[in-house]
C-alpha cells in the first residue's frame, strides 16, 4: 500500500473537547478583582449602609415622631421593621439591576469579550465567573454589610438583640432576590444584547407585580417579587407563610442561568 494511501486512512487527531469550566478560575479572579481590588466595594458598602440606615431611621423615629405630634396612631417597632424590610428588598433589587446591567454589554461593544473568548476560556465558564464574582460582591456590599448595621439599629430600638433567626431569614430572602435578578440580567443580555431591555424588563417585574396580583390574586403565590413582602413578614414576626414564592424564585434562578448559558453559547460575537 502506498504512503499516500496510509496517510489518507490515518485518523485525524482532533483533541479532546474543551471543558465547560475551562478558564473559570482565571476569569473569576478577574471579575472579583473589579470589586475587591478597587475602592468600588467599600464605596458601595458605605452608600448602601447609609441608604438603609436612613430609611430605617425614618421608619423607626421620624414617622412615629410626626404621628405623636399629630396625635395619631403610630407603627410599632415590629410593624416598622416589616415595612422597612419590604422596601429595602426592593431597593436591593433595583441596585442589583443597575450595578450589573453592563456586565457583558460593555465588554462586547469594546471588543474585550471577543478577546477574552479567544483565549482558553469557555463561554459557560465566563458566564459562571460573572455570576459568582459579581454575585458574591453584591451579596456582601448591597445586603450583608448594610443589614449588619440594620441589626444594630433594630436592637437599639428594641432594647435587646433583635431575634437573629428573623434577621437571618430576612437577609436570606433578600439575597435570593439579588441572585434571581442578577441571573435575569444575564439572561436578558444573552437574549437581546439591549441595555434598555436589560434594565427595563427586571424593573417592569417589580413595578408590575402589584398590578398582576390585583388582577389575579392567586398569582401572588407564584411570583418572585412576592419574596420582598415575605422578607418583611420574616423580619417583623418571624413568619414565612406560604413557601411557594421562595421555591419558584430558586427554580427560576436556575432556569434563567441555564437559558442564558444556552443562548450565550450560540451567539455570534
3-class DSSP assignment, residue 22? coil
> What per-residue confidence (pLDDT) applies to 73?
63
Distance from C-alpha of 129 to C-alpha of 105, rounded to nearest angstrom: 16
Q: How many CB atoms lie within 10 A of CB 157?
A: 16
Whole-model pTM: value is 0.89
Q: First and final CA of the chain: distance in angstroms?
A: 46
Spatial CA neighbour of 182 closest among 122, 266, 254, 125? 254
3-class DSSP assignment, residue 171? helix
> What per-residue confidence (pLDDT) applies to 11?
39
Q: Domain extents for the chain?
A: 21-64+74-265
Distance from C-alpha of 92 to C-alpha of 54, rounded to nearest angstrom: 15
> What per-residue confidence (pLDDT) applies to 222?
78
List Cβ neighbours of 52 (8 Å cut-off, separation of 6 or more): 88, 91, 146, 147, 149, 150
> What per-residue confidence (pLDDT) applies to 18?
56
3-class DSSP assignment, residue 13? coil
120, HSE (Cβ side, Cα atoms, 13 Å):
8
Tens-binned pLDDT, residue by residue, of the chain (269 aa) = 444 444 444 334 344 455 778 889 999 999 999 999 999 999 999 999 999 999 999 998 887 777 656 656 677 889 999 999 999 999 999 999 999 999 999 999 998 998 988 888 899 999 999 999 999 999 999 999 999 999 999 999 999 999 999 999 999 999 999 999 999 999 999 999 999 999 998 888 877 777 777 777 777 777 888 899 899 999 998 988 889 999 999 999 999 999 999 999 888 76
CA dihedral 214, 216, 217, 220 (to 10 degrees): -100
Amino acid at each position: 500500500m502506498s504512503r499516500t494511501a496510509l496517510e489518507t486512512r490515518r485518523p485525524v487527531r482532533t483533541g479532546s473537547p474543551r471543558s465547560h469550566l475551562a478558564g473559570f478560575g482565571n476569569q473569576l479572579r478577574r471579575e472579583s478583582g473589579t470589586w475587591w481590588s478597587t475602592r468600588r466595594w467599600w464605596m458601595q458598602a458605605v452608600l448602601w449602609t447609609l441608604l438603609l440606615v436612613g430609611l430605617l431611621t425614618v421608619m423607626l423615629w421620624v414617622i412615629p415622631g410626626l404621628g405623636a405630634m399629630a396625635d395619631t396612631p403610630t407603627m410599632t417597632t415590629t410593624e416598622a421593621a416589616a415595612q422597612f424590610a419590604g422596601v429595602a428588598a426592593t431597593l436591593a433589587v433595583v441596585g442589583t439591576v443597575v450595578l450589573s446591567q453592563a456586565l457583558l454589554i460593555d465588554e462586547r461593544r469594546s471588543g474585550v469579550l471577543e478577546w477574552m473568548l479567544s483565549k482558553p476560556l469557555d463561554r459557560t465558564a465566563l458566564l459562571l465567573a460573572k455570576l459568582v464574582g459579581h454575585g458574591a460582591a453584591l451579596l456582601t456590599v448591597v445586603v450583608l454589610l448594610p443589614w449588619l448595621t440594620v441589626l444594630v439599629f433594630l436592637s437599639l430600638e428594641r432594647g435587646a438583640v433583635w431575634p437573629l433567626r428573623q434577621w437571618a431569614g430576612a437577609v436570606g430572602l433578600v439575597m435570593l432576590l439579588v441572585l434571581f435578578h442578577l441571573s435575569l440580567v444575564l439572561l436578558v443580555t444573552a437574549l437581546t444584547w439591549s441595555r434598555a431591555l436589560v434594565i427595563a424588563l427586571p424593573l417592569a417585574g417589580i413595578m408590575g407585580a402589584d398590578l398582576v396580583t390585583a388582577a389575579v390574586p392567586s398569582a401572588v403565590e407564584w411570583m418572585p417579587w412576592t419574596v420582598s413582602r415575605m422578607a418583611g413578614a420574616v423580619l417583623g414576626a418571624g413568619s414565612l407563610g406560604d413557601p411557594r414564592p421562595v421555591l419558584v424564585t430558586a427554580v427560576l434562578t436556575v432556569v434563567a442561568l441555564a437559558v442564558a448559558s444556552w443562548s450565550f453559547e450560540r451567539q455570534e460575537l
